[in-house]
Amino acid sequence: MSRRALATVGAIVSATALVLGAGVLAAAPADAPWSYGGGTGPSHWGSLSPAYALCADGTAQSPINIQRAKPKPLQNLRFGYVAGEAEVFNNGHTVEAEPAPGSEPSTMKLNKVAYTFSQFHFHSPSGHTINGKHYPVEVHFVHKTADGRIAVVSVFVKLGAPANKDWQKFIDVIGKATANPEQTVIDKIDWHKLLPTHQQTVRYGGSLTTPRCAEGVKWSVMMTPITMSAAQLAVFSKAYSGNARPTQPLNGRSLVFDNTPSR
């Protein structure tokens, strides 16, 4: 793994420390292998390592089934995404794209807090569901603050025509990506054009959807999906199919629907 990939892992571990506490993190062994099936699948994550305890014991876990969200005129998300070079890599569970080193930072503002865009990755089928319905693909746009707080914007993908030209550069390299981000580079990607035009969201407090399942994540799930052609969707499912955690109990959490018209 390249230094770039290691830095990304280190950032995630640092963020987890904020949620779990430094003492727990220091005592945890090296991360145990995990998967989406069999003895290392989601139902076993919590027992694979003490570091994964929240996967079994957490009370604010993600993904969830979204229904009966309470409408509220929230401030829209504010995206300050800057088009630029991207590095793409396969982490063994999904394929990620991230701004190349030295890129001008892209940001997302949520509740007046600015988060820096870190990467996006996908799950096929979607982890989140709407009234029990899965979408073929769900993309997570991950953002972080300097002190390790995490906010994820989720975008559903459904079948549609014609092909989505804004996503084609990424789709073209999904099957070529290796574990080294420096080996697969997109010369220019317009991150903002990857999002839906209508950007009303359902928001809730949850967790990372993979081990260590750290909680304290602010989720904003876009209610308007983007579309891709059948051929494009097939590229995602060919790379990874079934890489989504089952929905988790809501445990009394509130879901708020941002009904402020997007601008």
Residues labelled as active-site residues: 93
Whole-angstrom Cα distance, residue 118 to residue 103? 11
| Pairwise CA distance, residues 228 & 161, whole Å | 6
Residues β-bridged to residue 138: 123, 156
**CB-CB contact of 260 with 74 (8 Å):** yes
**CB of 117 within 8 A of CB of 108?**
yes
Give the chain's end-to-end CA distance (angstroms, integer): 41
Burial of 150: CB neighbours in 10 Å, binned 0-12, 13-18, 19+: buried
Map residue 154 onto helix, strand or coil: strand
Residue 194 CA to residue 228 CA, distance in Å, equals: 11
How far is it, in rounded angstroms, from Cα 96 to Cα 93?
A: 10
